[in-house]
Amino acid sequence: MLFMNAWTIGFCIAAPVGPIGMLCIERSLSDGFERGLATGLGAACADAVYGLLGAVGVAGIVTGFPAVTRVLQIGGGLFLLWLAAAMFRTRARAGISRGATVSVRRAFATTFALTLSNPTTILSFVAMFAALGSSVAASDGGPWRATALMVAGVFTGSACWWLALSGVSAHLGARMPDRWLARVAQVSACVIAAMGCVQVVSGLRHGLA
């Protein structure tokens, strides 16, 4: 029961389509299932890391150092802007609509780092894990087993979402004309750039407050 509750948490946190979702969709459409899935799994592993931090109750470390949080937020926003520029340069502007532009390892690493650059994600896990108090108390094997079940559930739930998203996107991409893929890349680059600007401005605003 605890594992399934944590699975639901991981799935629900991964499901809203943000910059990672846009990257996963675009890479799956243009580069294929393998790189799209690697993009999603990078985020799933980062979710598991934050899930572990939330499970062991170290969220106070993150919230207790707002300056570090702001630096990570601004750095993550700049990273999004770099990704958008790279996407537009290598795919949308050049008209390269199909074919791998990143390695599987790089696809994984970029989203792992990008997801970790948003430390406020841990607060979502803490809030949701708080609702699992009765399940944790009822779990056999002590707190470490409960923690392992929660982290495994979060990772599996998140990975299932990325598996489904990349699979559907790759299936559609194989049937899309090249010009449509180029348009998707352009829109994705613009949306990711806008999200990056919002994140940078928000970090700077909080830093000046």
* DSSP category for residue 151: H
Q: What percent of the chain has pLDDT over 90?
A: 15
Query: How does pLDDT run across 143-160, given as a tens digit for each residue?
Result: 677 778 888 888 999 999
Instruction: Give buried/exposed letters for 69-99 (b at 16+ CB in 10 A, else e).
Output: bbebbbbbbbbbbebbeebbeebbeeebbbe
Nearest alpha carbon to residue 128 among 139, 136, 118: 136
**In this predicted structure, which of 153-157, 162-166, 171-175 has the lowest mean pLDDT?**
171-175
Give the number of domains in the chain: 1
Say how many CA atoms lie within 13 Å of 80 toward its Cβ.
Answer: 30
Nearest alpha carbon to residue 191 among 48, 92, 97, 64: 92
- Check pLDDT > 70 for residue 124: no
Task: Tell me the residue type at 100.
Answer: A
Where in the sequence is the domain holding 172, given as residue range(s)? 2-208
Q: What percent of the chain has pLDDT over 70?
A: 72
Mean pLDDT of the chain: 77
Q: What is the pLDDT of residue 33?
A: 92
Mean pLDDT score, 32-56: 86
Contact yes or no for 39/24 (Cβ under 8 A)? yes
